[in-house]
């Protein structure tokens, strides 16, 4: 099974459920009720995580928050320089995406803008976000190629992905 990380979203209803392997831990969550979904709609999600995916999720939660701290953790790792540089770029793109998404939300809430001004700012921000997403996907693709070439063990992959997702 291949794990793919992206910045987009996918409808969970788009793919049929398949039989579950017996060696995978089962996690079931039900999100809190929201005022946008009908109360009688089934909004529960069933998620099976492999040990590798649980390790990645756990490690990324423990990662530092500042750009300098993230870069320092990457520099301290035992990965080759090429992987370190890719990891730093990925972290940078993710940070910039968060900033642009916050700016997008701020523009949506800004009552001082008329419709034309708001649309112009939204269009510009959406183009920047699209460009950053493309750059992030390209960097993740390069990282995936390097990982495949290096044939890293699960521990190294977990460490690398936690650094990338921090």
pLDDT in tens, 34-48: 444 445 455 667 666
pLDDT tens per residue across span 88-106: 999 999 999 999 999 999 9
DSSP code for 24: S
CA of 156: how far to CAs of 10, 144, 159, in Å?
28, 13, 5
Task: Measure CA 138 to chain center.
Answer: 14
Whole-model pTM above 0.75?
no
């Amino acid at each position: 099974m291949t794990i793919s990380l992206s910045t987009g979203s996918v409808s969970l209803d788009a793919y049929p459920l398949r039989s579950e392997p017996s060696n995978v831990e089962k996690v079931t969550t039900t999100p809190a009720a929201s005022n946008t979904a009908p109360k009688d709609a089934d909004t529960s999600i069933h998620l099976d995580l492999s040990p590798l995916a649980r390790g990645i999720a756990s490690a990324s939660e423990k990662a530092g928050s500042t750009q300098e701290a993230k870069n320092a953790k990457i520099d301290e790792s035992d990965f080759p320089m090429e992987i370190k540089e890719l990891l730093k770029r990925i972290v940078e793109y993710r940070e910039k995406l968060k900033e642009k998404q916050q700016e997008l939300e701020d523009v949506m809430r800004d009552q001082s803008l008329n419709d034309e001004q708001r649309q112009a700012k939204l269009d510009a921000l959406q183009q920047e976000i699209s460009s950053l997403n493309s750059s992030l996907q390209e960097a993740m693709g390069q990282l995936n190629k390097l990982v495949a070439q290096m044939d890293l063990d699960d521990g190294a992959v977990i460490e690398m992905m936690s650094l990338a997702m921090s």
